[in-house]
Every structure is written in structure tokens, then in C-alpha cells.
Structure 1
């Protein structure tokens, strides 16, 4: 992990010492969990080192929160002397800070705040508890930031580019549909990469977008899917936390689907193409090791930690391919993945034009991960205005 320097060692000295004192105790047998309604009666005390995870939705959503929970389970396996605290359905408001405070009361010295909207609460808790490391999943932070705070994420637009290749090669109507929540840079980069992947094998492919203005609202998701399918879309994908509704809508309509966050291929045995799936375990493990070693520093050096195909610590995998993805397409995807891992590789190698035809990335230029994290426009081939 690249957030490594010497300041802030006091933050983790307590954590490392507590871990050493814990020895080989049977921590996993009494692993605590919490949610916004109640706390587990077998939650640890302050003498037991703990790591906390707060999730904005349920752990079995076939999506974002399920991937987080599966990553937290990997921490249990990798660090049997740590307690792992989890909290589901934590809103993006003051409840998040309260939930983190409860975890700190139970001994947490490292907390993963995993939703985009948990940022303010995460920074507040970090400022009030300098002996606790708080890392937030997905944002970019700047300015006056506590040394014990940071963010992390993966360049998930890279596997979405690969999934776009599968979609572009499989579509019969040349119309792809994208159900998304909010017009944040992560979402925009995913949509753009998906379209550019599709165009790389099918220049006629276009991606039609619909915003739900919600991370998980099955009613809105169903309406968005129905709208896209009525326009002739024959491949649906999404940037939603809970993914089952859109996938099942595509399958029922006889359309194809690309998954996101977690492998939901079981929901679409006929129309599944592939999916960009988070595999948080290795990255979470790296962060915990960094914290235990006393090497974590947030704002003073690299507050925004990003990993992708270029870094070698990939927090994502492509889900298995479905029956409509030919061997030839799979070979093209494999070659594209190798390209993305090179110095010159990116879904956004210039020239890149926006919807108005204005150039955004000059010919031959490879934008940095940081630049991709700040994208605020749709590329040519994407249909629909950015939601307000």
C-alpha cells in the first residue's frame, strides 16, 4: 500500500500492541457485528483490537454492500486475532458517525466507511479520534485532512471497459442501456469506459443512460429498465448498489445483462454476459497490514489511494462469461486487459471527445488515475444528459 510514512505511528501503536497482547485468542468465535438498530451481545470490549465496516445497504444485495461484506469476511480469515465489526443499512447522514462511534467504544482502531456519502461522517470521526484510522471508500479528499484519515478505491472503470467489449460485440440493436444513481465522477467514468469498450469492437454501439437518483430503489430501477428496454436496448448494465432488479428485468425481457459489484450470474442464466466484480479482500488486507505496521499516514502524503490494473493490487475481477460471449470476444477482452496494465494503457487514451464534439483528451495522451477521478462529462456515444 502506498500510504506509508513514519508520522502517525502513535495512532497505531495502541492497535499493534493490543493485537500482540491478544495473542492467539479465539477472537473469531466471538466476532461482533452491529447494525443501525442494535449491537451484538457478543461484541468485543476495548481490550480486544477491532476493525469496523459500515455499509449503506444490506450485505446480501447482489451488489456493492455484498462485496464489502465478503471483503470483511476475508479480514476475519486473514487476522483471526482481530474482531471484525460490521454494520448494515447505515444511512449517509449523522447515523454513520454515531455507528462509527459505537464501534470505537467496542475497541475499533480502524474503520472502513464504505459508501460515497459516508465521507463527511468519516472525516468528523477521524478528527475527533486521532488514535483511530478511518478510511473512506470511493471519494477523493483534499485540503486540511486529519493525518489518521484517507480514502481508497479501485479503477473499476477498467473492467467496465472490458465488459463494454462484451456488450458491444453481443448487441444486435447497437443500443446498450445504463441505469445509474448519481452523476459523480466514479459513475461517469464507468459509463464512459463502458461505451468506449463497446465502440472499440462496434463503432455503431451507443449507451443510453437513465438516472435513478438513488443507490438502491427497486421501483425506480424497474422503471428505468423498462424505459430502456422499450427503446430497443438489448444489453442492460448499471451503477447501483443493489443489482438484482435490473438484472432480473433484463432476463425476463430476453435481453442481455452486464453485472456490477458482485457476481449475480445466477439471476440471469440466459442473458448474462459478464460483470465487473469487486474483490476487496486483498486490498482490505493490505490496508490492515499497513495500519498494524504503523505505516499509515493519510493527508500528509497520499490521502487518496487508488489501485488498478497498472498497480497489481486489483480489487476487482471479471465475472464468468455467459453463453453469448464468443471465444473471439473473450480473446479480445484478454488482450485489452493486458493493454490496460501497461504504462500506455487506459480506456481513455486520446483522442476523447465529449457529447458536443469537443476534445477532452488529446490524441495519444493517457490521463492519470487522478484525472479520471475528476471526469465531469459524457463521451461521444453516450445518450442522455448528466442528471442534476
Structure 2
């Protein structure tokens, strides 16, 4: 009995000491975030900000964010300013921040940087992204089943591999269950512009699309879909409250576990740069939102079978054959492309209606 009490007391002391050490570490760490849009976009930036808030709540560290930072020289200025004002770890959360992040990292070698969706690393720069294309492949199956016109509409931001991969995954999913499905794309040259996104959704609906998808960050397309009586899929966050009838589901980006893990690594001295993390369904970085109750049960079952198949490795969105828009074979039947192929994707697959911007 006496020994048991001693053990419990020793354990309590150890826990208290651990908490005190964690508190001391937290006081020494300051984390910065650079956002392409506002946290209130209810999409991409909103989810990154939820991750930031989770870091504060879980670890007790001080965080800072700068919103609406354009990609280019302004981004470099903002990143340098965060680095110069005591931030030990800085997350830069848009593709166009890649080179500005690298430049800032050269100037501030004692600061640790994490760049979202990029592919260039350094000793003090790591990269991370989600396998959003996995969610888009699931959504493609749903869209292929739900469309009546056989025309899907896709609002795209910029013609980078991440976005092209999403378009291709969507139509491949759709045509797996509906060979007559096609997808029309409107490029808006912006990540967040509710006006442009709204106009693009209207244009696509006028062209016959009855399912609207997007790789842009505002809920405007979902709102237009609700008004016009067609289906929609949310981007990065659950957007159902902006169109409860229209919203089929959404591909949710859950950054919180990664942000907590990487901040902890800075706190305990185990953080390393130069690496890349590409998480998907299996790691929980990509999650499907609740399915609309209007989706038939067999379609939900199909969607879930695809999602689970991606997790267990029995399904790959780009398993061959992958046929380009011009009819040439990019991936032969029986083969599965590696991550390098996916990361450099710069072509449309069959089923995409229209030309890619140059």
C-alpha cells in the first residue's frame, strides 16, 4: 500500500514536471501563418486557421497570422517580417509562396519554415500537402451517378498540377460509373474571388452542368447551385450551410494534427527540414464531409467503398489505363503511376471538354 502511494506520488510529480517543461517550451515558441485569403472564406484558409487555433489550444503557444497576402513580393516581405519578429516556425499556406519562402529561409537560417503544396525544400524548409485528388475521385463517382445532363462543371483557380490532378480525378471517377459524363472547366485565375467564382458557376450551369465542383475557396459556387437548383460539392471545408439542398458533400482538409505535430517537434528539438509530407484519407489529412441525405443509399455505399479502397490500397484514382484528352496513353493498363508522375501532371484526361490555358 505504502509503495503504491509512493508510485502514484512519483507519477504525479513526473506529470507535473512534464507539464511545467511543456509550458516553458511553449513560452519559447512562436508560430506564424501566412494566408492567401481571409479566415472567413469558409474554405481553404478557414481550415488552415482551424489548425492554427488547435495549436494554441493543444500546446499553449503564441501564434500569429497575416491574411490576404498576395503571392509574390508581398509574400516575401510578410514572411521576412514574421521571421524577424521572433517566430520560430512559419507556415506559408499557398502554392505561390514557394519561392518567397525559400528566399526568406536563406536569410533566416535559424527559423523553421513549412510550405503548403510546394515541392522545393531546404535544410530549414519542409513541404506538406493533402492528396485532395483522392477526395475528388470519390466525388467524381457521386457526380457521375447524380448528374442528369452528363455535364459536370468545374471552377478552377490556376493550371498547376494540383488543380489539374483534381479535374482529372473527378472526371475519371465520374466516367468509371457513367461513361457518357464530361466535365467543363472555367479558369478564374484566383484562389479566392467570390464574384468571379459566382459568375463561373452561372456560366457552367448555363452550359448544361448540373453538378458544380470547385478548386477555389469561397462558398459562392455552392450558393449559386442552391439558387439554380443543381448539385454542388464544397471545397476544403464543409460548406453545406451555404446550400443545404445543393451540397452533396465536401472534401475537408484537416491540417490540425499536422500543425500540432510539427509545432511539438520544434518545442522538443526534433524538427527536421528538407522533407515532404503528402497525406490523404489514410492519414486523416483528407476527410469527406457528411453526405447529403438526397444521395441514394447505393451511391453512398459506392462512395464509401471507393474511399475505403483508397485507404487499403485496392483502389488508386490513376490506376492504368490513363488516357489523355488527345487519345494517347499516359499510364498503360495494369500499371499504377508513382508520386512523381502525379506531382507533375500537366495534361487533361479524356472526358475533359476544352483546352488548358497556357
**TM-score, structure 2 normalization:** 0.90
Task: List per-residue Cα deviations over 1:77-98 (Å, max 9, x = no partner).
Answer: 2211x11111111111222222
* Residue 285 of structure 1: aligned partner: 260
Within-5 A mapping of 1:195-344: 195-241=171-217, 243-299=218-274, 303-309=275-281, 312-344=282-314
Q: After the TM superposition, list the runs of 4 or more consecutive aligned residues in structure 1 that deviate by more than 6 angstroms.
A: 19-22
Contact 2:219 2:234 in 1 (8 A): no
Q: Does 1:376 align with 2:331?
A: no
Distance 1:78 1:66 in 2: 18
Task: List per-residue Cα deviations over 1:103-133 (Å, max 9, x = no partner).
Answer: 2343211100001111111101111111111
* Residue 176 of structure 1: aligned partner: 152
Distance 2:41 2:328 in 1: 39
Task: List per-residue Cα deviations over 1:152-205 (Å, max 9, x = no partner).
Answer: 001110011111111111111111000101110000011111111111221111
CA shift at 1:270, angstroms? 1.0
Contact 2:25 2:267 in 1 (8 A): no
When residues 48 and 102 of structure 1 are mapped into structure 2, their CA distance, relative to the original with a 3 A threshold, is farther
- 3-state secondary structure, aligned to 1:96: helix
Contact 2:155 2:214 in 1 (8 A): yes
CA shift at 1:73, angstroms? 0.9
Deviates more, 1:95-104 or 1:354-363: 95-104
- 3-state secondary structure, aligned to 1:214: coil
CA shift at 1:147, angstroms? 0.3
CA shift at 1:284, angstroms? 1.5
Q: Which runs of 5+ in 2 are unaligned?
A: 1-17
* Residue 88 of structure 1: aligned partner: 67
Name the one with the larger helix percent: 2
* Residue 49 of structure 2: aligned partner: 69
CA shift at 1:217, angstroms? 2.2
Select which of 111, 123, 136 maps to 2:90: 111
Distance 2:176 2:312 in 1: 18
Contact 1:123 1:149 in 2 (8 A): yes
Distance 1:197 1:56 in 2: 29
Q: Does 1:348 align with 2:327?
A: no
How many correspondences in the alignment? Answer: 341
Contact 1:306 1:369 in 2 (8 A): no
The Cα RMSD (Å) is 2.0
- 3-state secondary structure, aligned to 1:111: strand
Distance 1:154 1:370 in 2: 15
Distance 2:338 2:256 in 1: 25
* Residue 330 of structure 2: aligned partner: 360
Distance 1:265 1:352 in 2: 33
CA shift at 1:25, angstroms? 7.0
Select which of 189, 193, 215 maps to 2:169: 193
Contact 1:50 1:84 in 2 (8 A): yes
Distance 1:79 1:272 in 2: 35
Distance 2:25 2:283 in 1: 30
**TM-score, structure 1 normalization:** 0.83
| Rg larger in structure | 2
